[in-house]
Amino acid sequence: MKVLLTGANGYIGRRLKQKLLQEDVSLRMLVRNAKSIDSDIGAEVVEGNTFDSASLDTALEGIDVAYYLIHSLQQANYKELDRQSAKNFLDSAIKQGVKRIIYLGGLGIKEQASEHLLSRIETGEILSSRPDEIETIWIRAGVIIGSGSASFEIIRHLTEKLPVMVTPKWVSTLAQPIGVDDVIRYLNASKDLQHSSNLVVDIGSEIMPYKEMMLGCAEALGLRRWIVPLPILTIKLSSYWLNLFTPVPYKVAQSLIEGLSSEVVIQNDHAKQYFPQIEPLTFQQAVKQAIKEMEQNQVFSRWSDAGGGEDIWQENYRDDPSSAILLDRQSLPLDGLSKESVYRTFCSIGGKEGWFAYDWLWEMRGWMDKMIGGAGLNRGRRDSYELRVGESLDFWRVEDLIPNERLLLHAQMKVPGKAWLEFKITDDELIQTAYFYPRGLWGRLYWYSLTPLHYLVFGDMIRSILERAELKALEK
Ligand SMILES: NC(=O)c1ccc[n+]([C@@H]2O[C@H](COP(=O)([O-])OP(=O)(O)OC[C@H]3O[C@@H](n4cnc5c(N)ncnc54)[C@H](OP(=O)(O)O)[C@@H]3O)[C@@H](O)[C@H]2O)c1
């Protein structure tokens, strides 16, 4: 069986990829940046996107089953983009003779759906709209519980940070969560299902209100928490609240909060009927599994790993911000330190390790970012040591990684322009460069007003990297 996986860098796609690599299939992946995926894992990689018909045709050529795990939620015009993306995918899949599309959407009833969910439903309807030419299995999941999932991260952060939680009244709305490993099982089993027409399969474990999920998560973390629902909390206020206390930016918080007002429980028993071999974990088991993965530093994918929207790969500057017009460059000699130890040291930047110098200034910048709806610092990093191209790191994203040579970070914080931070090792030097491409006058004012801080922060940062690398070398 020839299988195409789209969204292979996304939260679900990354985990499904691991599963499919163990299956007896020939796997191809469509990604927007080929550098963001390992090319030597035994799967074919096609670089492209659903708005480029030539790359779609190449990706779908000769494919039997195609997974559609794409959305553009973080972009302002996501509804139109998602509609067009699904149409393009369907047209190309039919043209290339694909037999089955498997799509993962959200649970919920159309008449009560939030805008975000409505768009996910529309995508499913488009993909299922030509049953005579191609069959579509549409799996629908509600809250997904797993390490790194947006919903779970929100519940966990609120539970850990706030002993008493003041919540909107919708915490009493019913939902039917499911563990991420079970979602992957259903998606994987869908490719082998003996069935010859369209099918909608709703998946979930037990039904419970959001309030119970939060208290259940607290219990699994060994914490006692109190929840006080307040009817006066509006969607806007609650979204700011989530934005401040959890790692999700305002826009993501808003679409999630909007979704809380309507029930998300399963509407059919097709999961039991067609996949009787899958017995989903209970909510408590799924939470414990997620916490275990986090504690063991084994978070495989996170909601913030994919580009999502505003910052889709920077075509104009990809890997090379050197045409940015403002920069701060510092360099220091390696003085006998190995390239490997210096590389490993700067790759441990961010998260719990901090930013090597003036961490309190970085913290302040993170809070300022949160106040204006940005991601802030508390997305942290997935793994304390390892990095991969495309993943988020505090309020940056890894744009390029060349072992023992280079780390390029692209800023995802709210700035009036585009910013990058690069660490580069030459034969005898470490070169650290902050690049900035300002937007208008405000962008320039922003950069020049920060010059004194850059002098302190960046100067200390490069010194501290070399000192730490030296310490590590001595410890060996
Ligand atoms: N995560 C959840 O909690 C959850 C819950 C219920 C249902 N779902 C559904 O599961 C599906 C996957 O969600 P996810 O959370 O895994 O999403 P995600 O992490 O945001 O990943 C989205 C993926 O789509 C890719 N993409 C976006 N636009 C594209 C385009 N035009 N062409 C090609 N690729 C494009 C992105 O590629 P880049 O890497 O290049 O950015 C990324 O890999 C969605 O349909 C979602 O509604 C998710």
**Does some domain include residue 456?**
yes
Please indicate, yes or no, whether residues 218 and 360 belong to a single structural domain of this protein.
Answer: no
Q: Is residue 309 one of the residues assigned to a domain?
A: no
Q: Which atom in ligand 1 lies closest to the alpha carbon of residue 6? A: 34
Number of folded domains in the chain? 2
Same domain, 290 and 333: no
Q: Tell me how far the alpha carbon of residue 70 lies from the centroid of ligand 1, in angstroms.
A: 4
Q: Are residues 210 and 288 in the same domain?
A: yes
Whether residue 284 is found in the same domain as residue 378:
no
Question: Ligand 1 atom 40: the closest Cα is on which residue?
Answer: 32
Q: C-alpha distances in angstroms, 460 versus 173, 404, 429? A: 50, 21, 16
Ligand 1 atom 15 nearest Cα: 11
The rounded Å distance from CA 424 to ligand 1 centre is 31
Assigned domain for 216 exists = yes
The alpha carbons of the chain give a radius of gyration, in whole angstroms, of: 23
How far apart are alpha carbons 390 and 313 in whole angstroms? 9
Statement to judge: residues 363 and 278 lie in one domain: no
Q: Are residues 380 and 287 part of one domain?
A: no
Please report whether residue 211 resides in a domain.
yes
Q: Among 17, 70, 147, say which to mutate for ligand 1: greatest number of ligand atoms within 8 Å of CB.
A: 70
Cβ of 85 below 6 Å from ligand 1: yes
pLDDT computed for residue 124 by the predictor: 98
Interatomic CA distance for residues 149 and 294, integer angstroms: 12
Whether 184 and 102 share a structural domain: yes
> Does 100 share its domain with 148?
yes
CB of 176 shorter than 6 A to ligand 1? no
Same domain, residue pair 285 and 347: no
φ and ψ at residue 92, rounded to 5 degrees: -70, -40
How many Cβ atoms sit within 10 Å of the Cβ of residue 314?
17
**Domain assignment present for 303:** no
Q: What is the CATH number of the domain that holds 409?
A: 3.30.530.20
Q: Are residues 286 and 325 in the same domain?
A: no
Distances (CA, A) of 201 to 124, 179, 198, 330: 12, 16, 10, 56
Instruction: Identify the pLDDT of residue 297.
Output: 66
Q: Are residues 285 and 351 in the same domain?
A: no
Cα(34) to ligand 1 centroid in Å equals 16
The single-letter DSSP state of residue 281 is P
Same structural domain for residues 27 and 109? yes
Q: Which domain holds residue 286?
A: 2-295
Task: Please tell me the pTM assigned to this model.
Answer: 0.84
| Cα(214) to centroid(ligand 1), Å | 25
Does the beta carbon of 280 lie inside 6 Å of ligand 1?
no
Ligand 1 close to Cβ of residue 304 (< 6 A): no
CATH number, position 99: 3.40.50.720
SS3 state of residue 355: coil
pLDDT at position 313 is 43
Most informative mutation of 4, 6, 69, 187 for ligand 1 (most atoms within 8 A of CB): 69
| In-domain check, residue 104 | yes
Query: Of 30, 32, 205, which is best to mutate to test ligand 1, by the most ligand atoms within 8 angstroms of its C-beta?
Result: 32
Ligand 1 atom with least separation from CA of 32: 40
Q: Which atom of ligand 1 is nearest to the CA of 151?
A: 3
Residue 314 domain-assigned (yes or no): no
**Cα of 135 from ligand 1 centre, angstroms:** 21
> Ligand 1 centroid vs 102 CA: distance in angstroms?
13
Q: What is the pLDDT along the chain (476 residues), one digit of tens a residue?
A: 999 999 998 999 999 999 999 999 999 999 998 888 877 788 999 999 999 999 999 999 999 999 999 998 777 788 999 999 999 999 999 999 999 999 999 998 888 888 889 999 999 999 999 999 999 999 999 999 999 898 888 888 888 888 888 888 888 889 999 999 999 999 999 999 999 899 999 999 999 999 999 999 999 888 889 988 887 777 778 888 888 888 888 878 888 888 888 889 999 999 999 999 999 999 999 999 999 888 776 777 777 776 533 444 455 555 567 666 788 999 999 999 999 999 999 999 998 889 998 999 999 998 888 888 787 887 888 888 889 888 889 989 998 899 999 999 999 888 898 899 999 999 999 999 999 988 888 888 999 999 999 999 999 999 999 999 999 888 77
Whether ligand 1 lies within 6 angstroms of the CB of 69 is answered as: yes
Q: Say if residues 309 and 73 touch (Cβ distance below 8 Å).
A: yes
In a domain, 247, yes or no: yes
Burial profile 341-376: b = 16 or more Cβ within 10 angstroms, e = fewer: bbbbbbbbbbbeebbbbbeeebeebbeebbeebbbb
State which amino acid sits at residue 194: Q
Query: What is the C-alpha separation between 99 and 110, in angstroms, rounded?
Result: 27
